[in-house]
Chains A and B, each alone.
Chain A
């Protein structure tokens, strides 16, 4: 088995999860406590990757990233970067595709905190940002951990979008899910099984870890 597609998969999942964590923290906070018009629209947009077929996202990204259309042409003239068939393109696609998996658990975690926690922090003279980073976030660690791991696992499982905009380039865009698909097409069931088993085992282990850790953390917080 060539380990490259697996390595690429985990690289993609790690980079995507880190970027999304940075983006999702303020976004989740805004959605949890912000008062603004058009909330429904924003929430719908963020949640769309949950229900949209990846082929829809892949199709629009293929057009958006193409140098024949304005966005792709603009990026290429600006940075000399062609997003389609590139690793950076996959990262952008994955960030869009996994967005709700990061935002939703964190928002739910923030909302489940008692309002008195924030109020106490404000009363003690902390401003909004200090309250967020020093009080709220440390109190929803399980939610953040869940969000991070689910995002990671979901990106590992990404297939449809990569198939459409990846171009199957070894070492660049040929991630494990696509490699499995290829091996099955080439009738190499043995090789497909090797990749599939690794993904199967690793996904199980990371989910097992997160749920065990979460159960322990939650048990500590909940008075029995």
Chain B
């Protein structure tokens, strides 16, 4: 093959890649990843349109969005991060809350009857995993619970910080820690079912975990604009609400 033909082939190949697609990308906080799988299936069934899901911690996704990542909708684990994007002009609309998260204490080793926040101070518990409170709302809530039960000082040295709720779940399920805090939606997912015991923590011990989503900016002529709006709307529909409830969201 001579060089011109090679370049021609290469150009045609590239052109094939850059065909405008209507498939939208939804940036998804790790705690909603399993729910989103179901919501995605439902949305695709209803509209015949395709969506892609990218999972990460809300902080990381926000940074990526700020630096121009091609996401269409951002489903965050809190309200602070989408608010930040709105303030920076990343969206024309204010973020809206789609669900309230529920915090659980989860362990593979401690029997359910003995599982509570006070037991974490026991000498047999060497390590406790929480999502990084600086970047993950569930971690922040976990700290609030520990403080309201007056065990924070005692167990502070045992804490191990997961980069996201997903990594924290992985620390717990791999048995690297004796117990950890997580989202109810994760322990209820089919993927994590039967992986140990959990208890739902008293929601008055922590500030409500208000999870918001935000519709990201699109140019007027973007082929993704319509699907993104449609999906954003779907997120607040009765059908989506039922799926969220199934996963323990309020």
Contact = CB atoms under 8 A, between A and B. Distances in A.
A167 B176 CA distance: 10
A64 to B, nearest CB: 11
A120 B121 CA distance: 67
Nearest to B60: A185
Contact of A82 (B62, B66, B127): B127
Contacts, number: 61
Interface stretch (A15-23, A38-46, A65-73, A136-144): A65-73
A187 interface: yes
A163 interface: yes
Interface string B107-148: 010000000000000000011010010110000000000000
A48 interface: no
B132 to A, nearest CB: 6
A1 interface: no
Contact of A167 (B63, B84, B160, B175): B160
Main secondary structure of the interface of A (DSSP, over half): loop
B135 to A, nearest CB: 5
A108 B129 CA distance: 44
Interface residues of B, number: 25
Q: Which of B108, B159, B160, B162 has the most CB of A within 10 A?
A: B160
Contacts of A85: 127, 160, 176-177
Contacts of A185: 57, 59-60, 63, 132, 134-135, 163
Contacts of B129: 167
Contacts of A163: 163
Contact of B171 (A82, A167, A181, A184): A167
Contacts of B66: 187
Contacts of B34: none
A1 to B, nearest CB: 15
Contact of A63 (B57, B132, B134, B174): B174
A168 B160 contact: yes
Given A182-B135, A184-B63, A187-B63, A169 B176 contact: no
Nearest to B163: A163
A54 B129 CA distance: 22
Interface in A187-205: 187
Given A167-B129, A185-B57, A187-B59, A68 B135 contact: no
Nearest to B175: A68
Contacts of A82: 126-127
Nearest to B108: A68
Contacts of B171: 167
Contacts of B84: 187
Interface in A4-56: none
Given A62-B176, A66-B175, A187-B66, 12 more contacts: A62-B170, A82-B126, A168-B132, A168-B160, A181-B163, A184-B63, A185-B57, A185-B60, A185-B134, A185-B135, A187-B62, A187-B63
6 contacts: A66-B176, A68-B176, A82-B126, A85-B176, A184-B63, A185-B134
Interface of B: 57, 59-60, 62-63, 66, 84, 108, 126-127, 129, 132, 134-135, 159-163, 170-171, 174-177
Sort A-B residue pairs by CB-CB distance and give the 8 closest, nearest first: A68-B175, A185-B59, A167-B160, A168-B161, A185-B135, A66-B176, A85-B160, A84-B176
